Amino acid sequence: MNKDEEYERARNMERRRNNRFSAHKFVCIEYPGGKTLTGWTRNVSSGGLFIELDMTDLPAHSLVQLLVPIEDEELGSYRRIPVAVTRHSREGIGLLYCGDYSMCMSNF
């Protein structure tokens, strides 16, 4: 699946109505060029999540990697989840899972 197809699939998921659950967990966002942002989840659903960030230079529709710490593993272990940036606000960014990552809700 190419980037345009991944984004379109994620965009279609955005139109779905998923129940959101409050969650406050440290996460990282890795994007092209080896850059990493850190933030905290505000809420999660089976389709995506909202991350609180102080600032972001990620353009909407960017495909990035969400890095979620794995608590039962050694320090520095992360689960990598491909996501698409759907929106920006003063408080952070909305992300959609690229693929079926609904099982990842247990990490939050």
Q: What is the pLDDT of residues 14-63, one digit of tens each?
A: 554 668 888 899 999 998 888 899 999 999 988 899 999 977 677 878 89
Q: Domain residue spans in the chain?
A: 3-107
Looking at domain 3-107, its CATH class is mainly beta
> In sequence order, what are the residues at sequence separation of 6 or more whose Cβ sits closer than 8 angstroms to the Cβ of residue 22?
42, 43
pTM here is: 0.74
Q: What confidence score (pLDDT) does residue 58 get?
A: 79
For the chain, the 3-state helix, strand and coil shares in percent, each to the nearest 5, are: 15, 45, 40
Mean pLDDT score of the chain, rounded to an integer?
80
Confidence of residue 12 (pLDDT cuts 50, 70, 90): low
